[in-house]
A and B are shown apart, each in its own frame.
Chain A
Amino acid sequence: MAFDPQFLLNGVIVGSTIALAAIGLTLIFGILDFINFAHGEYLTLGAYAALVANVALGLPFVVAAVVAIPITVALALALDRVVFYPLRREGAGALSLLITSFGLSIILRNAVEMVWSSDPRRFDVGGAEAMAIAGVRITAVQIAIVVVSLVLMIAIHLLLTRTTLGVTMRATASNRSLALSSGVNTERIVTWTWVIGAGLTAIAGVLIGLNTVVRPSMGFGLLLVMFAAVILGGIGDPYGAMLGGLSIGIAQEVSVAFISASYKPAVAFTIMVVLLLWKPEGLRGADT
């Protein structure tokens, strides 16, 4: 059958939002040396922060989206202080941190559901009329999603290559043994990692909510996809996460042409497992 470019386009839209969230996840994994299972909930929180500003307070959508960033970042930093920092200080292992984040994920997800119920919600924004460009349907909102994602990825690239902070972050993230042992002022880097990671993830949440709906389980549902993107790109590698996110998004959407749409997550999962079997040494960093 002829390939429908519409699937590819959908893949780029979904993939670019996943990529944003995956950058945050991979940086946190690389620098704090643990997998944050609550990462999906930061995405959800970002979406709800914008939703409240937009729908409840009546702010214009763009303003609401921007306001969501500092709110999510502040929450992430507060949670780090209260939940993760004490463990870090006591030198608790990565597995204690991981299990703790698992607990945190449940708390946040259910707190969101308690406040806003599990009903799906939508942003109050126009631009939903599809136009046809070169044979594919796309809305103004979707164009905006892709443009914002690309701009942010370029911004992250500049940050990681042009600033001392970014260079240090990249070095720390790519070398797990260096993570917390070297002489650099690690707590400062940790803070900036949360700021950047949670900020990007909040935007990803807003964009995903814009493209679909906002609901309490949205972040948790994307966790698997984000993990797959991180593993595909190599842990701690922000560029890998971008590429991984885009590839997984595209693979998922294109798969709809062949298999039931309800198996989209299975596509990400399969890619991840095949990769683990085929190239595990690449994923563990260097051969140890």
Chain B
Amino acid sequence: MSDDGLLEVRDLNKYFGGVTAVDGFDMTVERNSITGLIGPNGAGKTTVFRTISGFHDPDGGKVVFDGEEITGKPVYEIVEAGITRTFQEARTFPEMTVFENLLVGKTGHRGEKLLPTTAGPKAYAEDERAAVEHADQLLGYMELAEKRDQRADRLAVGERKLLEIARALMTNPDLILLDEPMAGLPSDLTTDIVDYIERIREERDQTFLIVEHDMDTIMNICDSITVMEAGQTIASGTPEEVRNDERVVEAYLGEESA
């Protein structure tokens, strides 16, 4: 493989019955970058996310993460390898508190096994303490501390999106896949989320792959952008390069301004 990005997607294919959702898709995500994945509705972005993160088995092609092939592995192995995704529709655990939502994100917790659980709290005290500390730190970081004892179904949409990002961070991922993190949010909240993403990238050495519809935001925040249409990569490069690419203007930006 020529380049050595953190994530390499090569010639990915995914069909649903007769529908070709992803059709020979390629992309590279550089380490510590914020990379955008854009394309018109139905282009196959969510399907790419689901395939990278193990929710779908691809029908062809491969996904290499950090030098290791992860194609078609189950989600729990991919999370362990260091990739965590969020959902387009902000999925929290509605009948659990904000704080518990975060705690669930902790990976490799001994207390999540049945035997230590049966043995009692002492058997996993250390891990639980680490989880509580980590969650508490993220609460502060994402300014959710006030809501920590509220059930997630009481939160506003924006708060739920924040919670989902924070919960994904609990898994200590190297790469986070965010599916439309700003969709449906008022502009001030969008700015907040952009700030968080940039700060997290700086302070925690994290890499982001973001699907987003808001062109201004994406051009603004991303180091590099891949554009897809009808399941295929039609362009990739810096925001400048992509903005001026003819096929992109034709396929996507034109539609956007319509």
Question: How far apart are A179's CB and chain B's nearest CB, in angstroms?
Answer: 17
* Residues of chain A lying within 8 A (CB to CB) of residue B16: 286-287
* Residues of chain B lying within 8 A (CB to CB) of residue A287: 16, 56
Is the contact region of chain A dominated by helix, strand, or loop, or is it mixed? loop
A residues near B (Cβ < 8 Å) are 286-287
- Inter-chain CA distance A286–B16, complex, in Å, is 7
Question: How far apart are A165's CB and chain B's nearest CB, in angstroms?
Answer: 26
Is the contact region of chain B dominated by helix, strand, or loop, or is it mixed? loop
| Interface residue tally on B, bucketed by range | under 10
Residue B254 interfacial (CB < 8 Å): no
B residues near A (Cβ < 8 Å) are 16-17, 56
* Residues of chain B lying within 8 A (CB to CB) of residue A286: 16-17
Question: How far apart are B239's CB and chain A's nearest CB, in angstroms?
Answer: 33
- Inter-chain CA distance A286–B47, complex, in Å, is 13
- Inter-chain CA distance A92–B16, complex, in Å, is 30
Question: How far apart are B44's CB and chain A's nearest CB, in angstroms?
Answer: 15
Question: How far apart are A184's CB and chain B's nearest CB, in angstroms?
Answer: 21
Question: How far apart are B52's CB and chain A's nearest CB, in angstroms?
Answer: 16
Chain A residue at smallest Cβ distance from B56? A287
Question: How far apart are A94's CB and chain B's nearest CB, in angstroms?
Answer: 15
Question: How far apart are B145's CB and chain A's nearest CB, in angstroms?
Answer: 30
Q: What are 4 of the A-B contact pairs (CB < 8 Å)?
A: A286-B16, A286-B17, A287-B16, A287-B56
Question: How far apart are A175's CB and chain B's nearest CB, in angstroms?
Answer: 12
- Inter-chain CA distance A287–B17, complex, in Å, is 9
- Inter-chain CA distance A287–B56, complex, in Å, is 8
Chain A residue at smallest Cβ distance from B50? A288
Chain B residue at smallest Cβ distance from A286? B16
- Inter-chain CA distance A287–B14, complex, in Å, is 11
Question: How far apart are A236's CB and chain B's nearest CB, in angstroms?
Answer: 15
- Inter-chain CA distance A29–B209, complex, in Å, is 38
